[in-house]
Amino acid sequence: MPQDPVSGVGIASEPAAPAGLASCPAENVMTVPEAADRIWGMAEEKSDASVPERWSASTEHPDLWMDPGDDPRFANPDTDGERANLLDYLRGYRLTMEMKCAGLDAGQLALRSVPPSTMSLLGLVRHMADVERRWFRQVMAGADAPPLYWSDDVPDADWNGAVADPEVVERAWRDWRDEVAFAEAWAAGAEDLSMLGTMKDGNDVALREVLVHMIEEYARHCGHADLLRERIDGRIGQ
């Protein structure tokens, strides 16, 4: 063992780097070479002709989906009060999901563009149709309204049944718009935000909580839609 020339204390040698990593900088050395290879591989820039060029339809701000003056999400100035605020946020996210699908054909809507995820924009529309149906028809209105796509036998039918068929696309949009129309009418006509609905497990939930949950649900899935759409044709924007 080598010694410090001043103190005479032995100095331990540096441990050998794992095989295959001897030439890497110390801060990049990992104990599992395979994991390191995967991490570094993900960081590499690769040229792939199938990756679309990013673009925006906005002429004013490149990070927006369209020019603010043309954006229907900004068309409702009446947000006075808690109910109006919640409903307007929910309206905006519903529109966002719809806008992220605009201008695409059945094949593009059904494309699982971010593998290995099984998500597609069409699957997202079908999924949200059943989410709307569950919370507003079943839970809040207490209607006997079985799921449109889900089943105990095929729990992911909303995603897996999203195939590139114009009739499937047409039905998905019809179902989603029907459920949104019901939800909007029911929420607007409710006596107050404290009105209770009954969930499948027997527990009660207030309309206020359902609206907040729906905003969260759409916000999460609109993030998915951002990536799915960008990978389909390169269009970006909030």
HSE (CB half, 13 Å, CA atoms) of 124?
30
Check pLDDT > 70 for residue 22.
no
* 16-25, 80-89, 102-111, 178-187, range with the lowest pLDDT: 16-25
Q: How many angstroms separate the CA atoms of 73 and 102, rounded?
A: 15
Q: Tell me the per-residue pLDDT of 135-151, one tens digit each, with 9 for 90 and over.
A: 999 999 999 999 999 88
Q: Tell me the per-residue pLDDT of 191-213, one tens digit each, with 9 for 90 and over.
A: 999 999 999 999 999 999 999 99
**For position 172, what pLDDT does the model report?**
98
Check pLDDT > 50 for residue 27.
no
**For position 80, what pLDDT does the model report?**
77
Helix, strand, coil: what percent of the chain each, to 5?
50, 5, 45
Domain residue extents for the chain: 1-46, 68-233
Check pLDDT > 60 for residue 11.
no
Q: How many helices (H) and strands (E) does the chain have?
A: 7, 2
Q: How many angstroms separate the CA atoms of 201 and 158, rounded?
A: 22
Domain 68-233 classification at class level: mainly alpha
Check pLDDT > 80 for residue 35.
no
**For position 69, what pLDDT does the model report?**
78
Check pLDDT > 50 for residue 230.
yes
Closest CA to 129 of 156, 104, 149: 149
- CA-based diameter of the chain, in Å? 85
